[in-house]
Structures are given as structure tokens and as C-alpha cells.
Structure 1
């Protein structure tokens, strides 16, 4: 039994030798590996606002009813302002007791707070300030967390990828020249992680009565990093 096992193992090893030889040939190919980086910026064309209503009352029912009525006014105001139903989504609902400031270990409920927050997509960033003013005018008293982004970043990312590969080639050519070799074909290309947008120059100021809300949309920057392995050949 032992002899048969040894023979079987030897045959398996022989069968694997061509694959190992092929892999070894690839590993032995002279090459240079470099990273290329690129960024593309564009003004955002989509905004997202978190807003809602918080209502206080003596009882949980009173707080909930007051909050429901107030939020209904906010939602109606958004619809009147031209925001589609599909662009308004409930983000958080809560009903919590409010406690008096007592000594440690003592908890006295003095009322309840009901809150309802929604996330609003604004597909025309020029209307963001107007939407915020509409929210506040309709009774929203919990407004914040405004984000700007590009609705379809694919084209921007593709531009960044082309620039990143060109940056990798530029670096590889510098190394090849310094080493006295010639740059060949790329052997592999990989992208680092998921491209993350970098948001710049976005501000939000709390609205004041009679004063339009100042909002700066800034721009969005998408960055790409690629790793490219290039074959090299002896120089001329």
C-alpha cells in the first residue's frame, strides 16, 4: 500500500510539472511594475439633503400626531416645489421619552419627542438653496447633511483610468531608460479598490428668517490608481 501511494504521488507530480514550468516561464519574464494615478474633477449634478421634523409633547400619542401633521406639510411642500415622490425617502422614524435632569439613578419622564427624517434627491443642484428654504418654510426644524455628487460617474472614471495608465507608462519608460532596457507590452493591469469620490468646497449654512440659504456646490473629484506590469527587453 505504501509503494502504491508513493508511485501515485510521483505520477501526480510529473503531471503537474508542465504547468509549473509554464508558470515559472511567466514568473521569469523580465518586467517592471509601476503604479499610475489620475484624478478627474467635475461640477456635481445631483444633491442629497437630509431633513425632517422633531415634535415634543407631554404624551407619546400627542408627539406622534403633531409630528405626523407637521411632516405631512413638509412632504406636500416638496411636491409643490416639483420634487418627485421617487426622490423622497424616509430615512428615520423615532419616538423617544424625554427625561428630567434628576440625580443619578433617578429617571422621570417629562414628555416625548417624535421625529421623522427624509432623504431628498435634488436633480438640479441650482435648486438646492430653494429646496432648503421650502423645507424650513414648511416647518422642517431638523435640516442638515447635504451632499453633492455626480449622478453618472462612469465617463469621468473612464477618463481617469486612461490618464492613470498613461501615467504608469510614463513612469515605466523613465525606469526602463534609466536601466538601459526597452519597454515592451503590458503583462497585467489591475485597479486598486473601488474609486472613491472626494468632495470639495461644499458648505451649508443654517437658514435665517428672510435670508436665502447660502449653499456652495463646489466640485467632485474622482481618483484612480492602477498597477501595471510591463515586459522589458534588452536596450538597443
Structure 2
């Protein structure tokens, strides 16, 4: 005679767990899984070299900001006067051949003017409105003429210019090649000194960002006479740089 006994769910748990472990059926949660990084098969000496490469360019783009500041006894009058004058400025920018994509409003502001007296709360005496646009000039030869034209039509704020290189990627690649050549030369020098040879490059990382041309300090421009020569502008030369960290494997 065969005796049978029903198994309760609690008594089945150890059996199910044992079967699952033996068959690998329990999946670990994603948070518990770890990715083991693949290590390069290095059999020699590792050498880490940092190098900087540079590319020199004459800037071919200029940026500047310009706008109008107006004052009036009340806020509405200040804004209306500012809009009238700013329309003239924007029209002059477009007349100079600046494309719409190179004209961008950077700020419209309205602030009260205060008068301060001893032992009394400040009193609003009027309002100041301002409107500023950023401009990208792709023909630097016309920059001085443009700045003068802006002042002639009513702009009383002109800041810049800053100079940039349009095709930055080509300059970056030139700087990268120069940095890599410098790193390779240094690695060869270290290897020769140690009586070794450079076997290969293990890794290359680019860090430190891209050195960009620095803008000329901000200045306020004014033109005294219409017969005066255009405002002189000298873009000079800009140096763009790239930093590389290169790891070499040295061996015999």
C-alpha cells in the first residue's frame, strides 16, 4: 500500500528554490548585475603622455551686441520710444546685409529710475527701457562701417566685437594631429631612453575643451562726425588648441 501526503506551499518553496539554483533559472535584477570592463591585453610598460596641439587662424566672423536705451516719465512712453528707435537700428542692420539668422534679440528690459533722499523712501522719477540684439558679422571688412551706421541711426549701446573662426572643426582636426604627433614624439623619446620601443597606442582621450579666440573687451562706440573714417577693426590671429591624453605600451 502506498501512502501519499499532500505538500503545502510552504514546504514546496525549498524544493523549487533548489531546482531553480541547479538549473540557473533565477534571473538577477538589473540593479544587481555588474558590467566587468574589458581590460586591454597589456604585456609591457604603460606610458601616459599629455600633449597640446594648436592651429592658428585669422578670424573670419565677428560678433557684437547693439541696442537702444531710452528714458521717459512713464513706463509706456519709455517702451514706445525705445521701440521706435530700435526699429531704425534693426533696419540698419538688415540694410548692411546681415542675414536674419545672424540677428537675435538678447534682452528687452524696463526698469524704474529712483531718486534717493536722506531719511526718505526712494521715489520713482521715470522709467528706463532697453532693447539689445546680438549680431554675427560674416564679412569682417564691413564691421567698422556697420558699427558707425548703427550709432548714426540711434544706437547708444554697442559692445564688442568678439572674433571667431567659422570652420572650427577643420582647425580642431589640425590641432588634434599636431597634439598626436607631439605625444608620439615624446613616447619615442621615453622609449629610447629606457631602451624600449613603442609597441602601440592603448587609448586616446581628448580633454580640456577647445581653446577659442578671446573677444576684444567691451567698449561703447560713438561717432562725432559723419565725414570721419570708419571705426578701425583689427581681428588679428587666433590660436585654437586641443589637449590629448595618450597611453602607449612600451616593450622590448
Shorter-chain TM-score bucket reads 0.7 to 0.9
Determine whether 1:39 maps to 2:39.
Answer: no
- Counting matched residue pairs gives 222
Higher Cα radius of gyration? 2
Compare the two structures and name the one with the higher strand fraction. Answer: 1
Alignment of 1:1-236 (within 5 A): 23=39, 26=41, 29-103=44-118, 106-199=121-214, 206-210=221-225, 211=228, 212-234=230-252
**1:16 alignment counterpart:** none
Question: TM-score, normalised on structure 1?
Answer: 0.84
Structure 2 unaligned runs (5+)?
1-13, 29-35
Question: TM-score, normalised on structure 2?
Answer: 0.79
Q: Report deviation, 1:171.
A: 0.7
Q: Report deviation, 1:220.
A: 1.8
Over 4 Å off, 4+ runs:
200-205
Root-mean-square deviation (CA, aligned residues, Å) is 2.6
Q: Report deviation, 1:103.
A: 2.7
Compare the two structures and name the one with the higher helix fraction. Answer: 1
Equivalent pair of 1:204/1:215 in contact (CA under 8 Å): no
Residue by residue over 1:146-173, the C-alpha shift from the partner in whole angstroms, topping out at 9 and shown as x without a partner, is 2110112111100100010000011111
Equivalent pair of 2:66/2:157 in contact (CA under 8 Å): yes
Q: Report deviation, 1:200.
A: 7.2
Residue by residue over 1:70-103, the C-alpha shift from the partner in whole angstroms, topping out at 9 and shown as x without a partner, is 0001111112222222211111000110001323
Q: Report deviation, 1:143.
A: 0.8
Residue by residue over 1:192-235, the C-alpha shift from the partner in whole angstroms, topping out at 9 and shown as x without a partner, is 1321314377786733312331222122211011111111111x
